[in-house]
A and B are shown apart, each in its own frame.
Chain A
Amino acid sequence: EVQLLESGGGLVQPGGSLRLSCAASGFTFSSFAMSWVRQSPWKGLEWVSAISGSGGNTYYADSVRGRFTISRDNSKNTLYLQMNSLRAEDTAVYFCAKLTYERNIERFDVWGQGTMVTVSS
């Protein structure tokens, strides 16, 4: 069974840092691009970042570029999101998601259960 399990969320002060992890199982992790998507009541679902299967290509939303870094360790089947200079508006549930491409169309076909990040003093 394909599974994604996030961890690392919590309460952090503005300006602080946090690293999220997403442990993958049930599929050949290195063969698939992966993504982080966050959800908050005020912004809804928001794509944050993505990374290719090899890790050689990374993509970011403008709202997090320069503050967040996505990475992966294919030997550990784990995806990461390093979040620095956190702001109140980064407060959200963060989901990792597996990406599948078919006929050049991408979809988030498997999601983790999410981890809550709260940025507050």
Chain B
Amino acid sequence: DIQMTQSPSSLSASVGDRVTITCRASQSISYSLNWYQQKPGKAPKLLIHAASNLLSGVPSRFSGSGSGTDFTLTINSLQPEDFATYFCQQSFNTPRTFGQGTKVEIK
């Protein structure tokens, strides 16, 4: 199975900050990497697919980059509604696997 490792596991940030979350795959997954946002008690919500493609309707302050084994989710100018947990997920191999999540908290 491909292991997905996110860092950090949690971070504290203020409104307006720029936040960067990293996801590393245990083997190359090309661009087969998706990012999700999850708020407490809710289902995950797709933000970015194929490493860097922003889903329609997702604010442009979100961006994704990377290929191979190293990927990044960046949130420019963090907004109050962005405080949530973020997960990466690979779709290169079965079983599909997720990172352990990065919780973005208010400083």
Given contacts A62-B95, A105-B31, A107-B49, contact A45 B89 (CB under 8 A): yes
Interface residues as binary, B65-107 with A (CB distance below 8 Å gives 1, 0 otherwise): 0000000000000000000000101010011111111000000
Given contacts A45-B98, A59-B94, contact A108 B50 (CB under 8 A): no
Contact between B98 and A109 (Cβ–Cβ < 8 Å)?
A: no
The majority secondary structure among interface residues of chain B is loop
**A84-121, CB < 8 A from B:** 95, 102-103, 105-114
Contacts of B55 in A (CB 8 A): 109
Contact between A47 and B49 (Cβ–Cβ < 8 Å)?
A: no
Any chain A CB within 8 A of the CB of B19? no
**Interface size range of chain A in the complex:** 20 to 34
Contact between B44 and A44 (Cβ–Cβ < 8 Å)?
A: no
Of the candidates B45, B91, B94, B95, which one forms a contact with A111 in the assembled complex, judged by CB atoms under 8 Å apart?
Answer: B45
Closest Cβ–Cβ distance, residue B99 to chain A (whole Å): 8
Given contacts A45-B87, A45-B89, A108-B34, contact A102 B43 (CB under 8 A): no
10 contacts between A and B (CB under 8 A): A45-B44, A45-B98, A102-B49, A105-B31, A107-B50, A108-B36, A109-B55, A111-B44, A111-B45, A112-B43
Instruction: Name A's B-contacting residues (CB within 8 A).
Output: 35, 44-47, 50, 59, 61-62, 95, 102-103, 105-114
